[in-house]
Chain A
Amino acid sequence: MFDYLEKQLPKLIMAPTAIAMLVCMYGFIGWTAVLSFTKSRMLPQWDFVGWQQYERLFANPRWHVALDNLLVFTLLFIIIALLLGLMLAILLDRNIRNDGALRTIYLYPMAVSFIVTGTAWKWILNPGLGIEKMVRDLGFTDFEFRWLVDPDMAIYTIVIAAVWQSSGFVMAMFLAGLRGVDDSLIKAAQIDGASTFRTYWHVILPVMRPVFFGAVVILSHIAIKSFDLVQSLTGGGPGYSSDLPATFMYTHAFSRAQMGLGAASAMVMLAGVMAIIVPYLYSELRGKKS
């Protein structure tokens, strides 16, 4: 009896979480998928209309703005955060003094929520309050920095704030990776007479490939989910020029009583996340087998 219980205990303990996951994650994903094929407006209704909501979605100019913004934001955010994080990690790894203190400074933005980041940057980038006013007060009266209020540039302010928030975290990942690189590899490279640059480029960075991959996956899902940052920094504006799919979904499903359309946009977002996660899982699982 006791043996039996002991054998079953792990399963018993895991069962509630497994059920919660099945219902709350996959169950609701399925429900959203079903909703996206219905006519639902304010409340769920079960009149199935096929792909009509998706057709309406892709006929909506605001959705295209949101998709374009997502592309610009994701690419720039990931690339800049990776480069900056890597640079910081390499510099910190060069045994400079007080690297502990510096590390904390760079990591600190991670402790702040996106809402706070967004609000602070909103003030910093506001032409009448922030950088533009400061530089003008210094005497450069022609200085202009108006990305926040320029519909064509507003999306880049979101990149700035997101990079500020996340590059410290990327740095920490890379730093852990760098510290984990076998010393003998570096020594061997040095004995062979490789320059510091070549050592990094040809020896250390290739070893860190898994870290790159992990960082990209984490950053890209932050990018796709981005909601709070946009909401607090630009509110999607000016106009709807800095809308992202997540803010589009929220607006339509919850404040405009277009639940079917909102569900359709959520499914397209899910497809976007899958496109990144599935290859990652595939490569991970395949790696373990061999």
Chain B
Amino acid sequence: MKTKLTGLALATMMAMAPSAQAGEVEVLHWWTSGGEATSVAFLKKQLAESGVDWVDFAVAGGGGESAMTVLKSRAISGNSPTAAQIKGPSIQEWGELGFLSSIDDVAQANNWDEILPGVVSDVMKYQGEYVAAPVNVHRVNWLWANPEVFRKAGATIPTTWDDFMVQAQKVKDAGYIALAHGGQAWQDATVFEAVVLGVGGADYYNKAFVQADMDALNSATTKKVFETFGQLRQFVDINSPGRDWNLATSMVIKGEAGMQIMGDWAKGEFKVAGMNPGTDYVCVAAPGTSGAYTFNVDSFAFFNQSDAESTKAQKVMAKEILSTDFQRVFNLNKGSIPARLGMARTEFDTCAHDSMDAFVSSSASGSLVPSFAHGMAVSEAISGAIYDSATQFFNSDDSAEQGVAQLVAAVAAAK
């Protein structure tokens, strides 16, 4: 009797084995809203087809601060999820702490080195091996404009910062808000970043804001950057402090404001409002940055797993993330462009086409730079110091000299 029962148990276990073998992935992410949630659901479905179960480890709450806290405590207690939404230099920090697992075999088998641009794959590697997979590329240096407002004000859409001041003044004189802006630290930093790139160029940007070179930071160019940045204060309305970015976008949509400087996620707002790119709204590179590109790449980093099954499931997931299907669906929903090169582009809109072209050309010319306002360029400590300096300067009457001095001191202290 006893042996019979054991046999039965064994048989049941074997019957269950196939599904257990396929394994499951537990993924920490904060793509919980609208189009983002749809994109994640698609990945989930794709993995299910490969026999991998997806367990959500979604922690609601904006930029993922609360999610990161949960992730840290779980990693320390030796209970890491399979993958987590981590990007930029943070991947290196996690790598240094020894939590990330290499997925280099998947990457080699699928030619990631060839389908990904070098700047992107560098971010995904720790000590030469892939530990993360990119899902998309956002362009941050966009200027969104309402052509109707420009027509009424008799202004043209600016292509340099000097021209910006002239055209913005016209828009302002015509009774509109020239620059729709939300006065939150990260938005101040987003505009500041566009000014840095437009005024200083890609070489300066790389030296000063990626390598955090003190000589480059403490230079005449930085002073010029702060002068230009300071001039923008007059084109922002009095109610901007604390405003969310999407409310600023809707000011452009409603024709209350002329333009906004924001990453390509703003496109979603225009889309929801039923506006078409080119006719109802215009997307151009931020002034002075038409040949350049500040990128913000979202990615999943993979954590060490204790059992072989999870590791296997992890690799299936890594492979699926870079599949053309997922890259296409995810980025159509999110407004960004695929991280892998050479994909069919018919379904994407004209703004996305511009973004793809600029991505390839700037990559060739060396003016493809990581966004410091979105945690791609420097450690969190240094980007925090830049945030503080930019937002403090923009919300005060400080002179450009004071701005430079403060930035230099803050970055030095954060190093």
Q: How far is the CA of A151 from the CA of B398 in the complex (A)?
A: 12
Given A59-B413, A126-B239, A239:B379 Cβ within 8 A: no
Does chain B have a CB within 8 A of A36? Answer: no
B134, CB-defined interface residue at 8 Å: no
CA distance A237 to B242 in the complex (A): 7
Instruction: Judge if B279 is at the interface, Cβ distance under 8 Å.
Output: no
In the complex the two chains form, what is the Cα distance from A215 to B395 in whole Å? 36
- Residue pair A62, B238 in contact (C-beta under 8 Å): no
A177 at the interface (CB under 8 A from B): no
Bound-complex Cα distance A151 to B393 (A): 11
- Known A127-B239, A128-B239; judge A239-B391 contact (CB<8 A): yes
Among candidates A59, A62, A234, residue contacting B242 with C-beta atoms closer than 8 Å: A234
Chain A residue nearest in CB terms to B383: A256
Question: B239 near A237 (CB under 8 angstroms)?
Answer: no
Complex CA–CA separation, A149 to B181 (angstroms): 14
B396–A239 touching, CB < 8 Å: yes
A239 and B242 contacting across the interface, CB-CB below 8 Å? no
Bound Cα distance from A126 to B239, whole angstroms = 7
Q: Any chain A CB within 8 A of the CB of B1?
A: no
What are the residues of chain A within 8 A of B406 when measuring CB–CB? 61
A42 touches B396 (CB 8 A): no
The count of chain B contact residues (Cβ–Cβ below 8 Å) is 38
Q: Bound state CA distance, A251 and B76, in angstroms?
A: 21
Q: A151-B396, A252-B384 are in contact. Are A237 and B72 (CB under 8 A)?
A: no
User: Cα distance A62–B380 when bound, in Å?
Assistant: 16
Are A256 and B384 in contact, with the CB atoms below 8 A? Answer: yes
Q: In the complex, are the beta carbons of A237 and B184 less than 8 A apart? A: yes
* B7 interface hit (Cβ, 8 Å): no
Contact call A56/B97, Cβ cutoff below 8 A: no
State whether B242 touches A122 (Cβ < 8 A): yes
User: Is B241 in contact with chain A by the CB < 8 A criterion?
Assistant: yes
Say whether B384 contacts A258, CB under 8 Å: yes
- Does B65 sit within 8 A of A, measured CB to CB? yes
| Least Cβ–Cβ distance between A119 and chain B, in angstroms | 11
Residues of B within 8 A of A252 (CB): 384
Contact assessment for A42 and B97 in the assembled complex, using a CB-CB cutoff below 8 Å: yes
State the CA gap A139–B172 with chains docked (Å): 24
**Contact status A241-B380, CB under 8 Å:** no
Q: Is A251's CB under 8 angstroms from B384's CB? A: yes
Cβ of B263 under 8 Å from chain A: no
Question: Are B76 and A149 touching (Cβ within 8 A)?
Answer: no
Query: Whole-angstrom distance between the alpha carbons of A148 and B380 in the complex?
Result: 28
List residues 78-94 of chain B with CB under 8 A from any CB of chain A: 90, 93-94
| From A43, A60, A128, contact of B413 by CB (8 A) | A60
A243: nearest chain-B partner, CB-CB: B388
Contacts of A42 in B (CB 8 A): 72, 90, 93-94, 97, 380
| Interface flag for A21 (CB, 8 Å) | no
Closest chain A CB from B99 CB (angstroms)? 9
How does the 8 Å CB contact mask read for B386-415 relative to A, with 1 for contact and 0 for none?
A: 001001111110000000001001100110
B75, B93, B237, B238 interface centre (most CB from chain A within 10 Å)? B238
Which residues of the other chain, B, contact A254 by a CB distance below 8 angstroms? 65, 68-69
Q: Which residue of A lies closest to B75 (CB)?
A: A43
A239 CA to B413 CA in the complex, in Å? 19
The B-contacting residues of A in range 227-253, CB under 8 angstroms, are: 234-235, 237-241, 251-252
Q: With A43-B76, A151-B396 given, is the CB distance from A237 to B241 under 8 Å? A: yes
| Interface mask (A39-75 → B, CB under 8 Å = 1, otherwise 0) | 0011110000000000010011110000000000000
A41–B381 CB distance below 8 A:
yes
Distance of B272 from chain A, by nearest CB (Å): 23
Find out whether the CB atom of A256 lies under 8 angstroms from the CB atom of B239.
no
Chain B contacts for A61, CB-based, 8 A: 392, 406, 409-410
Instruction: Spell out B's residues near A (CB within 8 Å).
Output: 63, 65, 68-69, 72, 75-76, 90, 93-94, 97, 183-185, 188, 237-242, 379-381, 383-384, 388, 391-396, 406, 409-410, 413-414
8 A-B pairs within 8 Å (CB atoms) are namely A61-B392, A62-B392, A127-B238, A238-B183, A239-B188, A239-B394, A240-B392, A255-B68
4 closest A-B pairs (Cβ-Cβ)? A239-B395, A238-B395, A256-B384, A128-B239
